[in-house]
Structure 1
Amino acid sequence: MILYYYTSQRHGLASIRDKRIKISKFSELNDPFDFIGIATDKKEERDLVKNMRGKLNSKTGLVCMSEVWNEPLLWGHYADKHKGVCLAFEVNETKWDKVQYVDQRPRLGDYGVDNIAALKADNLRDISRKKFKSWSYEKEWRYFLSFKKPDFVDGHYFLDFDDELKLIGVVLGERSTVTKEQIAAMIDAHPSIKIGFARAAFSRFSLILNRLRTQVMVPKKNRVALPKLGAI
């Protein structure tokens, strides 16, 4: 399965160079209803949720990616207003959870329990996959993992690239300032990588491959081919 990771140019180039990706904590997510977004009217239950979230935040993180590389909102929100990059990864689908977009927050009764403490691990995982439907444009997948495995550098956790997180392509934003020298460094680090520049489509709200800029900036053997862009 191919998934796409949107980020700023600085962080994207660092990920390519260091062959690793940053893992987010739950406290860093941009949705306050994210994990655990269980609906409850009782203050004591809300306090338990807050406590549970705090414990999980210290032990567990996640990597979030999208099914698509050409969503303008994702470029605007996560890729530094189209100045950033979108990294394409071949991943092990069995380790990733597809986000479910819903109208209503889940309630305890949905899981056959009447208190937060009775929720099982599977219930918590299911809750962590649910987001409000307004986020559906993200077409998000999530990889949850313990902080025991990743590297801890400069106060952040990182997950190294490997056969189950294989970088295969880079799409550079329409406003990217990446140079030929930086592209050469990407290729030195990942000789088979495919690279292309994006631009706004002329007739619809989408991003497409900027063929001319890609031809000018990227060596032929490393260019993204237009018919294959959706599969890099």
Structure 2
Amino acid sequence: MEGSFLEMEFNLEKWRAENPMDYLLAMNLINQSSNKNEVFMKIYKITRLHLPDVLFKYISLTDDIALNESKLDTLEKQEIYMSDVKNLNDPFDSKAYFYRPDELKKYERLKEYDGKLIDDFTLFVKIASLTANSVNNMPMWAHYSNNHKGFCLSYDLKDKRNVQLSSCTFPVQYTNKRIDVTDLMDNEASKMFLEIDNQIAEGKKEIKLDDLSLGFMASLFCNIKHETWSYEKEYRCTAGAIAKGMPFFSASPKAIYIGMNCSQIYVDKLIKIANELQIPVFRMVFNEYDTNFNLSLQSVT
């Protein structure tokens, strides 16, 4: 009874609004800890509280027939494509944070690299973007489904088949300020080179570093974007760039939603795939004679 009472008292939506993700704070807590893995796992558990039960992915279909067929094949295989950050639609993606290499030139090992400890954090990860915006969202259809010519998929994160998807998906933090992580990088460089020198002094022929801080930074900070993108309500599935199975991730859709301007040839193919996967399929429609200014669902059999 006590557990039930506590669950009734806890307002998850209210908690989310009052406790937005702060990845810089998270990284500082990790960096200050003597047990970084343990702290990261605690922060990871907090990110799980920010995940809704269902997320959506809008997909465009264009004049590129080969690309369209590839997207349909990926859907049929119950996978999602993981993209390189450089291929995302925002050229300022991953620009939410930076460090000043000049301040790291004090380290002898970095002088010949102009103080750069890492050239490009984005090379460490691949990303698939999802959204909490449901299918009655005209900007999402226009921007990410080629002006309603594509389709949208819903994913139930509670579905056991989507363990891989749900476990690697994080909420996006929106900000209007870029984050200077020079102090973090300086601290990492100092600890890294001290450990290297200690191992050399011990006569070790192979240097091993088990500090995952830079990996944590890459995986967390790639989820930060400028606040003007907040309308997207984005969540990101992130994975290591060289992880097993890349560039695809297992993801079983809950339903398929077909854009109202989708070509009939792709409508037929999407219906066929839905039938094969035994999931519902809907066509998005707009009622010209309804006072409600929105899209509605039309079941397709």
- TM-score, normalised to structure 1's length? 0.71
Aligned to 1:158: 248
Q: Aligned partners of 1:81 and 1:33: how far apart in 2?
A: 23
Is the Cα–Cα contact under 8 Å of residues 171 and 198 in structure 1 kept in the other structure?
yes
SS in structure 2 opposite 1:196? strand
Any idea what the Cα deviations from partners look like across 1:147-201, whole Å, max 9, x if unmatched? Answer: 33225xxxxx222x3xxx221101111111235642442134202x111111347
Aligned to 1:148: 243
Is the Cα–Cα contact under 8 Å of residues 97 and 180 in structure 2 kept in the other structure?
yes
Which of 116, 131, 136 is the equivalent residue of 1:66? Answer: 131
- Residue 52 in 1 paired to residue 120 in 2? yes
Q: Aligned partners of 2:185 and 2:171: how far apart in 1?
A: 27
How many equivalent residue pairs? 198
Q: Aligned partners of 1:173 and 1:194: how far apart in 2?
A: 15
Q: Which amino acid aligns with 1:113?
A: L
Cα gap change, 1:89/1:117 in structure 2, threshold over 3 Å: closer, same or farther? same
- TM-score, normalised to structure 2's length? 0.56
Question: Whose helix proportion is higher, 1 or 2?
Answer: 2
Deviation at 1:83, TM superposition (A): 0.4
Cα gap change, 1:177/1:205 in structure 2, threshold over 3 Å: closer, same or farther? same
Q: Which amino acid aligns with 1:132?
A: H
Deviation at 1:80, TM superposition (A): 1.2
Q: Which amino acid aligns with 2:130?
A: M
Cα gap change, 1:116/1:77 in structure 2, threshold over 3 Å: closer, same or farther? farther
- Residue 78 in 1 paired to residue 144 in 2? yes
Deviation at 1:75, TM superposition (A): 1.2
Deviation at 1:67, TM superposition (A): 0.8
Which of 147, 153, 157 is the equivalent residue of 1:87? Answer: 153
Cα gap change, 1:188/1:200 in structure 2, threshold over 3 Å: closer, same or farther? closer
Q: Which amino acid aligns with 1:100?
A: Q
Q: Aligned partners of 1:135 and 1:177: how far apart in 2?
A: 29
Is the Cα–Cα contact under 8 Å of residues 12 and 87 in structure 1 kept in the other structure?
no
Larger Cα-atom Rg: 2
Aligned to 2:262: 176
Please list, as runs of the form range in 1=range in 2, the aligned pairs for 1:184-195 lying within 5 A after superposition: 184-191=271-278, 193-195=279-281
Deviation at 1:44, TM superposition (A): 7.6
Identity rate, percent:
22
Any idea what the Cα deviations from partners look like across 1:89-116, whole Å, max 9, x if unmatched? Answer: 123444211001111111227xx53649
Question: Whose strand proportion is higher, 1 or 2?
Answer: 1
Q: What is the RMSD computed on CA atoms of the aligned residues?
A: 3.1
Which of 213, 220, 232 is the equivalent residue of 1:126? Answer: 220
Any idea what the Cα deviations from partners look like across 1:191-219, whole Å, max 9, x if unmatched? Answer: 2x11111134755664332x3xx3xxx22
- Residue 102 in 1 paired to residue 175 in 2? yes
